[in-house]
Amino acid sequence: MIFLASDVKSLLDYSMEEDTKYWVCLNLVFAEYLKEIKSIVENFPTVKDIFKARQSQIIALGVDKERAKTLLSSRMLDKACREIEQLSKKNYNILTIEDDNYPEHLREIFDPPIVLYYAGDVKLFKSPAVAIVGARKTTPYGRAVAEKLSADLAECGLTVISGMARGIDSLAHWGALKGGKTLAVLGSGLGNIYPRENKKLFEKIIETGVVVTEYSLKTDPLGYHFPLRNRIISGLAIALVVIEAAKKSGSLISARLALEQNREVMAVPGNITSELSWGTNWLIKTGAKPVTDWEDVIEGLPLYVKEKILVHKPEKTEKGLHLNGQEKKIYDLLKPDSMIHIDEIVERSGLSVSEVLSHLLKLELNGMIAQSPGKYFQRKL
């Protein structure tokens, strides 16, 4: 029998689709047990061969007896098929480690996820990316830097990666969306967005970018998932930038993982009196590249990446040149690294409350300042 090239491709595609259920089944049982899953995958020629093995063979690889038993039960393959069906109904997709679209940078790490569930544009996995991570509880300075730096890097053609957590992560995503595209890595399933207030962010990201996780659709955001998730954030990136991190911070775990994965680690220096600057300043003291703007990040990337991306200085607005005397006076009172209450602005400017409010409104509409609850104002970088 003679097969045409198109017939061979169809057979290969069918084989890969058939294998997906086995990969998903394996992942459902072992997603949280990286050492065991690595041992299993490395000791069988194909994923199907795993499911032809005896339970004793699996246990002999250092796998927990109950997990080995669960893996080889027929109900788990049924569960995997249902998982695939539920994902399909929501227009979510699956990549296995064998797929051509699986990110090459991630495949190279010590313990790559065998399955990635994702929503959005699969092509983004092939784009050069920089991870930006940091504290959940942030300062005005940290928030301003995260949003600005992410927007500038996205405008340069880089994908900004983060974990869609509260604080710096979310701000990095929102900033990147202003200038380009972003990729989020979850510590839960795609059907269980955490934190819940980021559902809107999730929907916005998948319009042009992608959200990915190694956890099945309804998986809860359990605490120990996030340190495991961090290896994917750094693994997908060519460099990792930390913006604000306390002494005991998940961001420092991400930095360590990035170093182990031979990624460039960078950090934004912070106020030496702030607890949230301890981690970033320590990283810089121990060898991380200090970052004060997007150009510092680009400078630290590998040459082959610089050649691929469109590196240009993000356009700066000239709005500040069009301010009248009173507007400029108020603008100069505001700081990018701290918030000032309206009462202080009125007192220091010598203007009436109505005048100050009018000028603040114009500055805010022009995107030059930001207002926080309680009538606090801050200059944008």
pLDDT at 57: 97
Rounded Cα distance between 131 and 158, Å, is: 10
Q: What is the mean pLDDT of the chain?
A: 90
pLDDT at 161: 98
Q: Check: CB of residue 358 under 8 Å from CB of residue 126.
A: no
| Alpha-carbon dihedral sign for residues 356, 359, 365, 367 | negative
Does position 174 have pLDDT exceeding 50, yes or no?
yes
Token pair in block for residue 270: 């912070």
| 381 band by pLDDT with thresholds 50, 70 and 90 | low
pLDDT at 246: 92
pLDDT at 46: 96
| 264 band by pLDDT with thresholds 50, 70 and 90 | very high
In this prediction, residues 30-49 reach a mean pLDDT of 96
Rounded Cα distance between 380 and 106, Å, is: 35
In this prediction, residues 4-24 reach a mean pLDDT of 61
pLDDT single digits (tens) 267-278: 999 988 899 999
Which domains occur in the chain, in start order?
5-89 (no CATH), 122-308 (3.40.50.450), 319-379 (1.10.10.10)
Angle at CA of residue 249, ends 246 and 252, nearest 5°: 105
Q: Which residues pair with 256 in a beta bridge?
A: none
| Whole-Å CA distances, 230 to 125, 140, 247, 255, 350 | 16, 25, 17, 9, 50
Rounded Cα distance between 146 and 224, Å, is: 25
Structure-token match 């602005």, residue found: 345
In this prediction, residues 230-258 reach a mean pLDDT of 94
Rounded Cα distance between 306 and 308, Å, is: 5
In this prediction, residues 256-272 reach a mean pLDDT of 95
pLDDT at 129: 96
Does position 260 have pLDDT exceeding 80, yes or no?
yes
In this prediction, residues 89-109 reach a mean pLDDT of 96
Rounded Cα distance between 267 and 280, Å, is: 5
- Pairing mode, strands 115-120 and 93-96: antiparallel
Q: Check: CB of residue 253 under 8 Å from CB of residue 230.
A: yes
| 213 band by pLDDT with thresholds 50, 70 and 90 | very high
126-130, 176-180, 312-316: least confidently modelled range: 312-316
| 172 band by pLDDT with thresholds 50, 70 and 90 | very high
| 78 band by pLDDT with thresholds 50, 70 and 90 | very high
| 332 band by pLDDT with thresholds 50, 70 and 90 | confident
pLDDT at 310: 52
Rounded Cα distance between 109 and 113, Å, is: 9
pLDDT at 8: 37
| Alpha-carbon dihedral sign for residues 48, 49, 50, 51 | positive
**Ranked by mean pLDDT, which of 142-151, 304-313, 359-368 comes out on top?**
142-151
Rounded Cα distance between 381 and 369, Å, is: 9
Rounded Cα distance between 231 and 105, Å, is: 12
Where is 29: in which H helix or E strand? helix 5-30
Token pair in block for residue 371: 């207002």
Per-residue buried b or exposed e for 47-64, using 16+ beta carbons within 10 Å of the residue's own CB: beebbebeeebbeeeebe
| 328 band by pLDDT with thresholds 50, 70 and 90 | confident
pLDDT single digits (tens) 41-73: 999 999 999 999 999 999 999 999 999 999 999
Token pair in block for residue 73: 């039960």
Is 98 exposed, middle or buried (CB count within 10 Å of its CB: 0-12, 13-18, 19+)?
Answer: middle
Please provide the DSSP assignment of 257-320 as one string: HHHHTT-EEEE----TT-GGGHHHHHHHHTTPEE-SSHHHHHHTS-HHHHHHS---PPPPP-GG
In this prediction, residues 8-23 reach a mean pLDDT of 63
What angle do helix axes 250-260 and 278-285 make, rounded to 10 degrees?
Answer: 20
Could you give the percent of the chain with pLDDT greater than 90?
73
Residue type, 96: T
pLDDT single digits (tens) 347-356: 999 998 888 8
Nearby residues of 370 by Cβ (< 8 Å), 6 or more positions away: 144, 364, 377, 378, 380
H runs (alpha helix) in 120-179: 140-155, 168-179
| Whole-Å CA distances, 98 to 19, 51, 115 | 9, 17, 9
Does position 307 have pLDDT exceeding 90, yes or no?
no
